[in-house]
Amino acid sequence: MKTRLHVVLALAALWFAGLAARLCDLQVREHDHYVERARNQQRTELVLTPPRGTIYDASGRELAMSIEAASAYAVPREIADPAGAAARIAAAVGADRAVLASRLGRGDRGFVWVARQLEPAAAERLRALELPGVKFTTESKRSYPLGALAAPVLGFVGVDPTGLAGIEAAYDETIAGREVRRPVLRDARRGSILYDDLAQPEAPPGADLFLTIDSSIQHVAERELAAAVARHGARGGSVVMLDPGTGAVLAMASSPSFDPNAYGQAPPADRVNIPVQHVYEPGSTFKLVTAAAALETGAVDPLDRFDCGRGGIVFRGKLIRDHKSFDDLSFSEIIAFSSNVGAIRLGARVGEQRLYETIRAFGFGSKTGIDLAGESAGRVWPVEEWHARDVAYLSFGQGISVTPLQLANAFAAIANGGTLYQPYVVSAVSRDGVVEAPADRPRALGRPISAQTAQTLERMLEMVVEAEGGTGRKAAIPGYRVAGKTGTAEKPENGIYVAGKYVASFVGFAPARAPAVVCLVIIDEPAGSRFHGGDIAAGVFAEIVRHALLRLGVPRDEPPAGAGEKPLVAALGGARPTPPAPGRVATR
């Protein structure tokens, strides 16, 4: 019996000795390890983001800025009646009651968002409720003081805040401030212990951006575009204005548009930056590319004349009609009167390979590289995949898709003497008080045409506006020479051109001999019997460009026709023609 007792006591002594040794080991040798584990269970980090930088227009006017806004959060375990609290909060701030009830009902959580970036009135209503467990902090909220002005260009910012479109997305890393991590403690239930009136971190905000866009010109572009779309019952439209000498974007408008202060209320289609993201068939505005190829290759002489078939031509077994009946036209008259048959004659002389090379040299089929998110490259089929009649259709702008920006940029190359520049919207970045311009601006992408070809094309484009019977007469601006081209393109759907659906456009530059601006106006699907670019888009161009020239202080052309200068039409080949007789409108 005593032996058994001794054994039990010995085993007990060994167990207590082992326990004591383990306790000693935990408190001495592994002390630091478990202290650190305990601290980690109590600690976490709250990520706070400083304000984003401000975006300014070319004159220093604020287009996008960060302001302070109240945000509400809750500690669910401090809320006795989650359903009742959710109902009162939902009524105060317009939130979803069911979603709030679900969040507040999670008693295991020490932190949930209730409503972020509240409007001042909503925040005041919520504060007045004095609900237990509902607390407030201050966050940075993006604000656009000019509302919808240049909205598709600026883009918008999510609650995070992260840029989701436009400049806000393209320059997100530049505009965003550096994140600051604030340590907070967690209790045993792993709920964050937060404090009222959590202050914003003292950290430098993101860099400021200065744009090339002029708010005054942008406002007029948007106003005139919206008025034209409404006047003609159109589906929408767009405007692009560039400085031809640098590629700087002076204005870029889309219709429809949206207010970035409430971007969530706009359908996704209204938030698209049409000049950069949409593609379309350019129609007759593309005839200048064909004309450029003809001059660059030496396939034609400016004084050459062409049989335009009295309104039609059979090309490789297919009858292609003109929009009017023309007989014999000079090279320059083909452009002035916008003859499809004449353009086909030019394209046939140039040939498929050289036409394709010229198209690509002007940047079509590739992104321009503009510093905006979501740019489309358009579509140019490789010449090896062209069908028998593609050279004919491409000659007057069918069978190719381009963005409005690409077309405006191609005309900018004609305007400046032959250099294709990369378009851009940000002219300078300001960080910590230091303002720097990006090193690669302006950036020349190449020379698709010679200076001589550019000058010849410019004179031809003047005829479009000045010559009797020219299709762009409504683009004339008193006191300035204007050069440009009209376009009336049929719209394809599923590979078939739809009767009655057109894209009306005008693209040009002024003053013609010393261009300060290039501008493209597009009206998409105008309703009614008037759908030609010369009728609908040319006048919009004139009003927008007139304001831009005044705004930029561009002197008028004096004298209007130049002392001792040859009449324009005579200088390009032949006497001033009489307007062609009206014929059946086909495709242009």
Catalytic center residues: 284
The whole-angstrom separation of Cα 162 and Cα 148 is 19
Is residue 323 within 8 A of residue 340, CB to CB? The reply is: yes
Q: How far is CA 255 from CA 263, 413, 540, in A?
A: 15, 26, 14
Enumerate residues 6+ apart whose C-beta is below 8 A from 493: 501
DSSP state of 51: P
The whole-angstrom separation of Cα 356 and Cα 68 is 54
Which of 291, 225, 245, 221 is CA-nearest to residue 461? 291
**Token pair of 54 as six digits:** 């401000």
**How many CA atoms lie less than 13 Å away from 198 in the CB half-sphere?**
23
CB under 8 A, 24+ apart: contacts of 256-259: 257/148, 257/151, 257/152, 257/222, 258/148, 258/151, 258/152, 259/144, 259/147, 259/148, 259/151
Beta-bridge partners for 319: 314
Is residue 167 within 8 A of residue 55, CB to CB? The reply is: yes
The whole-angstrom separation of Cα 377 and Cα 222 is 24
Is residue 535 within 8 A of residue 474, CB to CB? The reply is: yes
Angle at 247 between CA 220 and CA 557, to 5 degrees: 65
| H-state helical runs in 396-450 | 404-415
Beta-bridge partners for 184: 44
> Which amino acid makes up residue 495?
G
Q: Is 181 helix (H, G, I), strand (E, B) or coil?
A: strand
Bridge pairing between strands 192-193 and 483-493: unpaired
Beta-bridge partners for 137: 71, 198
**Other CB atoms within 10 A of residue 18 CB:** 10
The whole-angstrom separation of Cα 215 and Cα 219 is 6
> Which amino acid makes up residue 397?
G
Phi first, then psi: give them for residue 64, nearest 5 degrees: -145, 135
